[in-house]
């Protein structure tokens, strides 16, 4: 409706100026200049309207699982298009299953430049988060990583995942274009850079960047932070070998 009103205003202005030009043929550049100003101003106005609509209802919040009030806090800087991040997710989930009552886990965005769709995926997850489905969408992105990463039109898959979760699709698509959510992803990425993060996934345990070589090492450090007497999680994490080496995206 607003687009139609804008078009009517522009059309009426041009007609008026053309009539004005007919009576003032001696200086056509004045008319051309006025038309240019009208069009530029109208475009700027319409852009502002669209931006306002895309940001409507957007609230930026932290994404935390487990016990938000726990003394032990684990923060992951991750990239949805990073294969190493996808490989780490089952380990994170089993840690939460074992220690969720004593652990606060927060997801932070750190899309790597080598992954062309990582930023778009991060914004899609944030758009889903506006409908209280961030981690559900997070799980689908990692589960279907190969599918959308190899697509020439990942937005189609992103919308399909939103539909699968029962999200309001029109709201989701608007929020996919939200400047607030895009800025949020950029801000988290810059925070990671300022901390010296070079690869994904990177984990921060109680404010200290974890140095890990195996999945078992990762689990043991978290267990020790929760209770120094704990050596292994309550539910053992299944890996392909003893002391499975961790891979990182650079």
- In this prediction, residue 124 carries a pLDDT of 98
- In this prediction, residue 236 carries a pLDDT of 44
- In this prediction, residue 51 carries a pLDDT of 74
Query: For 215-224, what is each residue's pLDDT tens digit?
Result: 999 999 999 9
- In this prediction, residue 70 carries a pLDDT of 97
- In this prediction, residue 220 carries a pLDDT of 95
Check if the beta carbon of residue 165 is closer than 8 Å to that of residue 133: yes
Is the domain defined by 63-226 classed in CATH 1.20.1530.20? Answer: no
- In this prediction, residue 243 carries a pLDDT of 59
Taking 70 as the pLDDT cut, the residues of the chain under it are: 1-50, 230-250
**Residue 139, both tokens:** 């799980």
- The CA R_g of the chain, rounded to the nearest whole Å, is 25
Please classify residue 152 by burial: count the beta carbons closer than 10 Å to its beta carbon, then call 0-12 exposed, 13-18 middle and 19+ buried.
exposed
pTM of the predicted model as reported, rounded to 2 decimal places: 0.77
Strands (DSSP E) found in 143-238: 202-205, 208-209
- In this prediction, residue 13 carries a pLDDT of 56
Query: How far apart (Å, rounded) are the C-alpha atoms in residues 120 and 150?
Result: 14
Supply the angle between the helices 118-129 and 179-194 in degrees, to the nearest 10: 120
- In this prediction, residue 33 carries a pLDDT of 55
Check if the beta carbon of residue 91 is closer than 8 Å to that of residue 219: yes
């Amino acid at each position: 409706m607003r687009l139609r009103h804008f078009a009517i205003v522009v059309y009426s202005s041009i007609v008026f100026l053309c009539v004005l030009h007919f009576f003032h043929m001696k200086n056509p550049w004045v008319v051309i200049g006025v038309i240019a100003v009208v069009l530029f101003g109208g475009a700027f106005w319409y852009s502002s309207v669209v931006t306002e609509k895309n940001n409507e209802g957007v609230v930026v919040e932290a994404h935390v699982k487990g016990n938000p009030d726990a003394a032990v806090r684990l923060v992951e800087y991750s990239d949805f298009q990073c294969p190493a991040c996808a490989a780490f997710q089952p380990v994170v989930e089993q840690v939460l299953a074992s220690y969720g009552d004593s652990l606060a886990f927060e997801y932070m965005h750190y899309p790597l430049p080598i992954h062309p769709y990582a930023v778009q995926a991060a914004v899609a997850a944030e758009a889903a988060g506006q409908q209280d489905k961030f981690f559900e969408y997070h799980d689908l992105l990692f589960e279907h990583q190969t599918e959308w990463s190899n697509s020439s039109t990942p937005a189609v898959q992103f919308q399909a995942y939103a539909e699968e979760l029962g999200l309001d699709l029109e709201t989701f698509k608007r929020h996919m274009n939200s400047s607030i959510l895009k800025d949020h992803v950029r801000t988290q990425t810059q925070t990671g850079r300022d901390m010296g993060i070079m690869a994904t996934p990177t984990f921060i345990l109680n404010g200290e960047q974890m140095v890990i070589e195996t999945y078992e090492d990762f689990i043991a450090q978290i267990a020790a932070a929760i209770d120094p007497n704990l050596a292994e999680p309550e539910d053992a994490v299944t890996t392909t070998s003893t002391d499975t080496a961790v891979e990182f995206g650079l």
